[in-house]
Amino acid sequence: METLIHTTLESDGVLVATIDMPGRTMNVFSAELMDALDALMDRVDSDAAIRSVVLTSGKPTFLAGADLVMVRGYTDSAKTGTHDELFSMCGRLGRQFVRLEQSDKPWVAAVNGIALGGGLELALACRVRLVTDESRTQIGVPEVRWGLLPGAGGTQRLPRLAGFDAALDMLLSGRSIPPADAVRLGIFARALPPAVLLDEARSVARALHGEPFDAKAKFARLTQADVPPYSPESARAIALRYGVSAADFDLYPAYSAIVDSVLKGARLSLAEATDAEMTQFLRLMFNPVAGHMVRTLFLERLRAERELAAPKGKGIERVEIGALGPACTSWADALARGKVTQAANGSLPQDTIEIVDLQGERHRVALAVLDTEAGTAPTMCLLSPAGPYGRVMEIIGANDAAAMALAALAPRLGALPWRTPGPTSVLQKLKGASLEDQARTAVQYAATSGAGDLAFLDVASCLAGVTPAWSGGPLHWLWDERANVVPRFDAASRDAWNRLQPALHRAFA
């Protein structure tokens, strides 16, 4: 069995526990890591030689959150499982953190890099939290971006440490904050240079030997006098106050679940509050929106980024640029931010570039943007606006060599390279249409030669912002609504549906 948490017991009774999951660039909470944490807590509780624990990471990041493959498994289980079964399964991590927090042997977090989602929740459960002061370190609870809430105590400990206003801002926006802000808000005790972080954590742990857990000492805002009483009306008003639109509040249940969790868990014990939080988490598991967003905006997106990437060794030497008109301002901005080597080329038509790859080959590309109607060209590339999940570079009508050059350029612009056969943009056909009309367009496109992976159409449309994220994309939405929508299809759409149905069943059933 692989060792996920390495330990060193020092002579003064401080156990340094280092999370380092083999074969991963980042630590994430998986069922195996939860097993390892249980085993570690059993050892700590039973070994008299251990007087405290310092928890850190063996990777450049601390812990990046939950394994969303596991979370997708939760949403699949919710299709057939009972509330009690899901409560037991999904609530395991939260119960572990309550046990860790209340241990008579103090746990101190030495957060040596990014701590997001479950990683931050693990740190919050520790009695004292220290963090590196490096600028690359980000602290946050981004779960709302995938239709979820932080379900292992995040909605409960954050308000008790940082206060209601700061916690709601982090929870409802999903934004990360730098270490200095996390210290200012009381989420961490101190931000320290990496070279002294672990030694300082050891010193803090030693100073706590023999001191039992005291919630009043840990939480500056334990009374939660700043948290208003719950009502459906107050929950909606609070979300609106933090920038959630009325439409999004209704379409994305994570917003109401987060606010309800904070309000209903306030002033309860941490064990009771964690159960209240899990009740709201299960609301999301039994709702299809979370499953759609996790699948399309995380799991399939990661697969798309891997499979659509340029081959190894394919890169860009420079980009030669003709005159760019007002419509292509976003292209100029993206190329500048991506620090792409550029050269002016007055011989090129307006809104055209030539990519010179590492092999010296030239690839002429007409530029377009989502919000301005694109024409046709032998090779066209359309850039969507940067949205909350990223942006898309739709590569239209390119040959293989040009498509690979553009795929090499895309990561520099923070874009997913999605190749379509052309001659016109698929994203522009979807933009502004109703979901039912998008489904017709998508199913007809997906049934054509060269359309590529079905899931990537959903990923591209959601990343580009032309299809709402809650739907999971036009094909995913169509599968869910097929009983109502397919009977209204015209002949061409119905024929495409019949040809695609087996593949759609494999993808979405």
Residue 384 CA: distances (Å) to CA of 23, 243, 334, 350, 355: 34, 24, 11, 19, 19
Write down the pLDDT at residue 469: 95
Write down the pLDDT at residue 1: 63
The closest of 408, 380, 409, 383 to 396, measured between CA atoms, is 380
Catalytic residue annotation? 121, 143
Residue 324 CB-density burial (10 A; 0-12 exposed, 13-18 middle, 19+ buried): middle
Residues 250, 451: Cα–Cα separation, whole Å: 33
- pLDDT tens-digit series, residues 202-217: 999 999 999 999 999 9
- pLDDT tens-digit series, residues 340-398: 899 999 999 999 999 999 999 999 999 999 988 766 778 899 999 998 889 999 999 99
**91: which 2 tokens?**
């609530």
Write down the pLDDT at residue 376: 73
Average pLDDT in the 143-149 region? 93
Q: Is the pLDDT of residue 111 over 90?
A: yes
The closest of 370, 373, 397 to 384, measured between CA atoms, is 370
Q: Is the pLDDT of residue 509 over 80?
A: no
Query: What is the average pLDDT value for the chain, to the nearest integer?
Result: 94
Sheet holding 380-383, edge to edge: 342-344, 316-321, 352-357, 362-369, 380-383, 391-396, 415-420
Q: What residues are paired with 419 via a beta bridge?
A: 395
Q: How many CB atoms lie within 10 A of CB 135?
A: 9
pLDDT bucket at 270, cuts 50 / 70 / 90 = very high
The closest of 304, 310, 251 to 459, measured between CA atoms, is 304
Phi, psi of 191 (to 5 degrees): -110, 130
Q: Is the pLDDT of residue 503 over 70?
A: yes
Residue 92 CA: distances (Å) to CA of 44, 99, 155, 305, 437: 19, 11, 16, 31, 42
Q: Are 331 and 414 in contact, with CB atoms under 8 Å apart?
A: no
Average pLDDT in the 115-139 region? 96
Write down the pLDDT at residue 11: 97
Structure-derived torsion over alpha carbons of residues 24, 26, 32, 36, reported in degrees to the nearest 10: 120
Average pLDDT in the 111-133 region? 97
Write down the pLDDT at residue 162: 97
What DSSP designation does 462 have?
H
Which residues are within 8 A (CB) of 239 and not within 5 positions of it... i.e. 6 or more apart? Answer: 172, 249, 255, 256, 259
Q: Are 379 and 366 in contact, with CB atoms under 8 Å apart?
A: yes
> Dihedral sign, CA of 113, 114, 116, 118?
negative
The closest of 153, 167, 120 to 265, measured between CA atoms, is 153
Crossing angle for the helix pair 118-125 and 154-162, nearest 10 degrees?
60
Q: Are 424 and 312 in contact, with CB atoms under 8 Å apart?
A: no
Residues 404, 413: Cα–Cα separation, whole Å: 15
- pLDDT tens-digit series, residues 273-314: 999 999 999 999 999 998 899 889 988 998 999 999 999 888
Residues 101, 26: Cα–Cα separation, whole Å: 24
pLDDT bucket at 5, cuts 50 / 70 / 90 = very high
Long-range contacts at 242-249 (CB < 8 A, ≥ 24 apart): 242/168, 242/169, 242/172, 242/173, 243/172, 243/173, 244/172
Residues 177, 451: Cα–Cα separation, whole Å: 40
- pLDDT tens-digit series, residues 50-75: 999 999 999 999 998 777 778 878 88
**261: which 2 tokens?**
């969790």
Q: Is the pLDDT of residue 48 over 70?
A: yes
- pLDDT tens-digit series, residues 245-267: 999 999 999 999 999 999 999 99
Q: What residues are paired with 197 via a beta bridge?
A: none
Write down the pLDDT at residue 274: 96
Q: How many CB atoms lie within 10 A of CB 444?
A: 19
Average pLDDT in the 505-509 region? 86
Q: Are 230 and 268 in contact, with CB atoms under 8 Å apart?
A: no
Average pLDDT in the 20-47 region? 95
Q: How many CB atoms lie within 10 A of CB 189?
A: 17
Residues 502, 504: Cα–Cα separation, whole Å: 5
Which residues are within 8 A (CB) of 134 and not within 5 positions of it... i.e. 6 or more apart? Answer: 113, 179, 194
Residues 128, 206: Cα–Cα separation, whole Å: 12
- pLDDT tens-digit series, residues 409-443: 999 999 999 999 989 999 999 999 999 999 999 99
Write down the pLDDT at residue 214: 96
Phi-psi domain of 7 (left: phi exceeds 0; alpha: psi -120 through 50; beta: other): beta
Write down the pLDDT at residue 127: 98
**431: which 2 tokens?**
């933009």
DSSP assignment of 135-172 = TT--EE-GGGGGT---TTTHHHHHHHHH-HHHHHHHHH
Residue 62 CA: distances (Å) to CA of 12, 29, 55, 121, 261: 25, 11, 10, 12, 26
Which residues are within 8 A (CB) of 349 and not within 5 positions of it... i.e. 6 or more apart? Answer: 322, 366
Residues 499, 495: Cα–Cα separation, whole Å: 6
Q: Which amino acid is it at 505?
A: H
Write down the pLDDT at residue 65: 79
**491: which 2 tokens?**
């002949």
